């Protein structure tokens, strides 16, 4: 028998926290202190339908992977769940206008161009995540400064009719001396998430590192690979080693 929305709504704090995802109820009380994004974001949806917030940032197998089956509580009669009207974002109209007027991809010549477009067109949450770093952000700033200290050595009278940028990284051949690194929450930037990067990496012969906290599952990213495409794995070791072994 399905749970009623009023029953789920009673479990709305850190003592007993239930959420609804895709029409099913889950008891996430014990998971609150383990959530990588902190307990606050989960408690915001305690006793409520969290699907809209959950879907863009979690792969489909997240609840099976991290939540014991005993915490999967079953179906919810969604007709009985109270609906909350989302607060209107005063900046959304301007963002959508910027999306409609964004330049062609071929008109972006460097990373600064991409950054300028992203700042205007991404949703606030997405831009906040992609443009920030951990803690005091000193590593992010130093990385930025380090690249400014790299100069190409000027040469003259060199035949540049054909330029070969290919190299090897950790023994793997690649078309250019950089790779697609592991960045979580790909669906904040594109509805298909990291699999878009997988396909692009294959097309251009670039290595991709698969993130532990991707919006897509590892299976989805690996299934999107083609032929002998090289993929690396970034691994965050969970305090519960059984979770890491399942990965």
Q: What is the pLDDT of residues 59-75, one digit of tens each?
A: 888 898 888 899 999 99
Mean pLDDT of the chain: 91
CA distances (Å), 232 to each of 17, 60, 190, 218, in order?
36, 21, 21, 11
> How is residue 236 written in tokens?
């965050």
Q: Is the pLDDT of residue 150 over 80?
A: yes
Q: What is the pLDDT of residues 174-230, one digit of tens each?
A: 999 999 999 888 999 999 999 999 999 999 999 999 998 899 999 999 999 999 999
Q: What is the pLDDT of residues 35-51, one digit of tens each?
A: 877 899 899 999 999 99
Contacts with 119 (C-beta within 8 Å, 6 or more apart), sequence order: 127, 131
pLDDT, residue 206, reads 97
Mean pLDDT value across residues 145-154 = 88
Mean pLDDT value across residues 13-31 = 94
- SS3 label, residue 192: coil
pLDDT, residue 233, reads 95
Q: Is the pLDDT of residue 88 over 80?
A: no
CA distances (Å), 172 to each of 79, 112, 152, 165, 183, in order?
53, 29, 24, 14, 21
pTM, full prediction: 0.79
């Amino acid at each position: 028998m399905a749970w009623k929305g009023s029953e789920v709504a009673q479990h709305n704090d850190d003592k007993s926290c239930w959420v609804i995802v895709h029409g099913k109820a889950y008891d996430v009380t014990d998971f609150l202190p383990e959530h990588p994004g902190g307990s606050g974001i989960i408690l915001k949806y305690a006793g409520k339908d969290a699907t809209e917030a959950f879907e863009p940032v979690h792969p489909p197998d997240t609840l099976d992977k991290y939540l014991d089956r005993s915490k999967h509580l079953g179906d919810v009669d969604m007709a009985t769940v109270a609906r909350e009207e989302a607060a209107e974002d005063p900046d959304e109209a301007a963002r959508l206008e910027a999306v409609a007027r964004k330049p062609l991809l071929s008109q972006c010549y460097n990373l600064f161009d991409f950054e300028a477009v992203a700042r205007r067109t991404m949703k606030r949450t997405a831009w906040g995540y992609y443009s920030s770093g951990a803690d005091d952000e000193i590593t992010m700033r130093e990385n930025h400064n380090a690249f400014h200290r790299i100069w190409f050595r000027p040469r003259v009278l060199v035949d540049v009719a054909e330029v070969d940028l290919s190299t090897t990284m950790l023994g793997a051949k690649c078309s250019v001396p950089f790779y697609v690194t592991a960045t979580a929450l790909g669906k904040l930037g594109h509805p298909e998430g990291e699999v878009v990067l997988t396909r692009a990496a294959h097309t251009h012969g670039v290595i991709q590192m698969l993130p532990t906290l991707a919006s897509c599952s590892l299976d989805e990213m690996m299934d999107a690979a083609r032929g002998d495409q090289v993929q690396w794995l970034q691994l965050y070791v969970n305090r519960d080693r059984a979770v890491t072994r399942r990965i």
